Amino acid sequence: NALALHEATVQDVSDAIGKGKLITFSHQGAGNDIAITQYITIYEGKPFFLLGASAQKKGAVVESNYISPLAILSKTGGQCFVPGNQPRLMDMPYDNDNWTKLLTVNWTDNIKSGTGYEFTSLYDNETLNGLVIGNLSHDFWKTGIKYALSEKKGVIDSLIIYGGAAMPDNKNLPNEYGGYDGTHDVVEHGSMKGQTIFAPLIFLCGGDRNDAFKRYGELNAKISGALQWKNPAPFYWNSFGVEDVLGHRKIMMPPGVAKISEFLATLKNFNSHKPVLSIDSYDQGIYTTDILKSVDVFGKKHHQQMGFYFIPFAIWTWKSSIDNNKLQHTDEYIRDVSLKDNNGKTIIYKDGDFGAYPLDPTHPATRQRIIAELQKAKAIDAKFLKIDFLSAGALESSVRYNKNIGSGLQGYHYGMKMLKHLVDSILGTDIFITQAISPTFPSQYTHARFLSTDIYSHFRDDLPGFPHHGSTATSMVTNSHLGWMQGTILPYSNLDVLVMKNFQKNSDLSERDIKVRLFSLMTLGSILGDGSDFRNPLAAERSKKYLDNKNVCDYFTTPVAFVPIKISDGLTQDQQLSFYLPGDTVLLSSFNFDLNRVYDQPLNREQLKLKKNISYLIKDFLTDKVVGKIDAAQTSFSWATEKADARMVKIIPQSK
């Protein structure tokens, strides 16, 4: 045994988290072999503990692209068990791209092994009690969570948390099973080098799953920081719901944007919040800086402000131009700024004759291009930034401009920190930043992040006439697990835009579809965005009911994520979900994506934190119509949601 010498020490610790004990286990050989140190930190009055590890070699530099602070292996005597009637393991995809859903792995599933990223939960789906495990360090390692379930219910054969995850896409596999749920890398994870190298810092917390995840989010914010937003949450209109590349199909030309602005001005409640005109994916040949500036001037006359879209760490271009064309706003060739595969060739991030290619966040030309884009944003007085395709900047690469950057995530962290600094210095510190396609972490450089991207507002993926992706049902498979992010690592979430009639070329939506989407945004603490073409009379009419509703607009001024009562289970479209927002007046939302069964949810006062011996009125959220009552002596009640529907109500206490 190379590590035959073992020593344990206990010492007091006092840091930003609190006071407690640091337990250290040292393992080393008799010579100058590598020594491994394990750290367990337990804090007074805290229901969690932290787990870390390091490797060092006396008088030498240690280098590794893999290190695990926690490995539970049944073959070496490790034991891991999930109690309860419905044991589950949560498998989180690396980013929010490709409509890839979060997995809740069941012991009855055919596939019982896989790899998730950054955090997981081992829990009983019936009680939502269990264990939350998550990474707290997001400046070097992509953290993988590799698992294999036993044939015996609730027993885990192996669970390995490790730094060094780098997983390529595999188009031959389903999205959630190795198809697109990984890191999208084609190069192995970069190595950490130093006298001592450290594993990811791991958080472990048992008990109520909702509380544990909230503590995980709060601790991430305490360690890495989190932005604050002191103004009311932004309302915005985004052009992508009308036309993908703005102006490309001549659907939304500049006079059309003016029509949108004029219509929004008629929505008294919505427009009172100084909504953003978020011009997305615009064609430079049509929507020039001067044109966008004119839109800003027009919008300001209607109490509106401008948004700006750009892609900091990737470029969309023709495949043939990579070697021959210079990067926009720079004198450098694209080939010299891009991230590279093991053969020194530019990595393909999004394949196609016209595709996306990742840029090195550490290259001066990338910085120069970002500065030029932000100067355009300043020229149009943009107050809202949507940044997209960020995962490209986190890809592993065989070459980087900055030789001190050792991994894809370290490069991405470097780039995001630089980007936020440039935004502050060029545009000011009062700019709202929302990130679209991106890894979950690092999270401290933006105000909102899309939990799911490109949601088209149709009810389910399997309905005729609609795409087999991008539905509200699919988004809630993932999003129902992620409400804890709002108010901890980010001020708000972003569930993409509502659409009042149809998304781009898709079929027309029903009012049911719109209502369900609206309630999903509310439930997850999202900012309010719309992507409708209000030149259409039906879209305009519906917006008065849903977008301009006073209760809706009041809520989205300070949106707060609800607490889950019942979350998604499996990948089925037939999810039945419920959530509540505690307070003097309690909000209750329920979603029934099943086309054939009524969702009947038993509820009690304790669950919803209702006061004892007080009667409550139940009012429809949109109309304030009374739809029920809870008598003072009533301790429980049943809540029914019709098939293929959703409900949102206010539960209002009545004075004695």
As given in the structure block, the two tokens for residue 15 are: 């840091």
Task: State the total domains in the chain.
Answer: 2
pLDDT of residue 77: 94
Q: Residue 286: inside a domain, yes or no?
A: no
In what helix (H) or strand (E) does residue 552 lie, and over which residues does it extend?
helix 550-557
Q: pLDDT per residue over 116-174, tens digit each?
A: 999 999 999 999 999 999 999 999 999 999 999 999 999 999 999 999 999 999 999 99
Dist CA 53 CA 654 (whole Å) = 55
What is the percentage of the chain residues whose pLDDT exceeds 90? 96
Examine the pLDDT at 4 and tell me if it is beyond 90: no
Task: Using pLDDT thresholds of 50, 70 and 90, give the confidence band for residue 652.
Answer: very high
pLDDT of residue 599: 99
Is the pTM for the entire model greater than 0.95? Answer: yes
Q: Residue 138: inside a domain, yes or no?
A: yes
Q: Residue 460: inside a domain, yes or no?
A: no
Q: CA nearest 340: which of 348, 352, 351? A: 348
pLDDT of residue 282: 84
Examine the pLDDT at 32 and tell me if it is beyond 70: no
Q: Residue 280: inside a domain, yes or no?
A: no
Last residue within a domain, chosen from 181, 209, 224: 224
pLDDT of residue 58: 85
Task: Using pLDDT thresholds of 50, 70 and 90, give the confidence band for residue 636.
Answer: very high
Q: Residue 649: inside a domain, yes or no?
A: yes
Q: Could you tell me whether strands 626-630 and 616-620 are parallel, antiparallel, or unpaired per DSSP bridges?
A: antiparallel
Q: Residue 87: inside a domain, yes or no?
A: yes
Q: How many other β-carbons are positioned within 10 Å of the β-carbon of residue 537?
A: 9
pLDDT of residue 462: 96
Task: State mean pLDDT over 401-406.
Answer: 98
Task: State mean pLDDT over 594-618.
Answer: 97
Please report, for the domain that includes residue 627, its CATH number: 2.60.40.1180
For the chain, give the mean pLDDT. Answer: 97
- Range in 245-259, 414-428, 433-447, 573-587 the model is least confident about: 245-259
User: What is the number of alpha carbons within 13 Å of residue 355 lying toward its C-beta?
Assistant: 15
Length in residues, the chain: 656
pLDDT of residue 29: 84
Last residue within a domain, chosen from 190, 224, 258: 224
CA–CA distances in Å: residue 443 to residues 144, 225, 340, 491: 18, 8, 25, 10
pLDDT of residue 268: 98
Q: Tell me whether residue 453 is exposed, middle or buried, using C-beta atoms within 10 angstroms of its C-beta: 0 to 12, 13 to 18, 19 or more.
A: buried
pLDDT of residue 1: 57
Last residue within a domain, chosen from 224, 253, 272: 224
Q: pLDDT per residue over 246-294, tens digit each?
A: 998 999 999 999 999 999 999 999 999 999 999 999 877 899 999 999 9
User: What is the number of alpha carbons within 13 Å of residue 202 lying toward its C-beta?
Assistant: 30
Please report, for the domain that includes residue 72, its CATH number: 2.70.98
Give me the residues paired with residue 51 across strands.
Answer: 40, 202
Residue 202 and residue 133 in contact, taking contact as beta carbons nearer than 8 Å: yes
Whole domain around residue 126: which residue ranges?
Answer: 5-224
Examine the pLDDT at 100 and tell me if it is beyond 80: yes
Examine the pLDDT at 656 and tell me if it is beyond 70: no
Task: State mean pLDDT over 66-95.
Answer: 97
Q: Residue 130: inside a domain, yes or no?
A: yes
Q: pLDDT per residue over 539-556, tens digit each?
A: 999 999 999 999 999 999
Angle at 83 between CA 151 and CA 137, to 5 degrees: 95
Task: State mean pLDDT over 589-610.
Answer: 98
Dist CA 567 CA 282 (whole Å) = 37
Q: Residue 330: inside a domain, yes or no?
A: no
CA–CA distances in Å: residue 446 to residues 77, 433, 435, 449, 490: 43, 5, 7, 7, 7
Q: pLDDT per residue over 305-323, tens digit each?
A: 999 999 999 999 999 999 9
Q: pLDDT per residue over 357-368, tens digit each?
A: 999 999 999 999
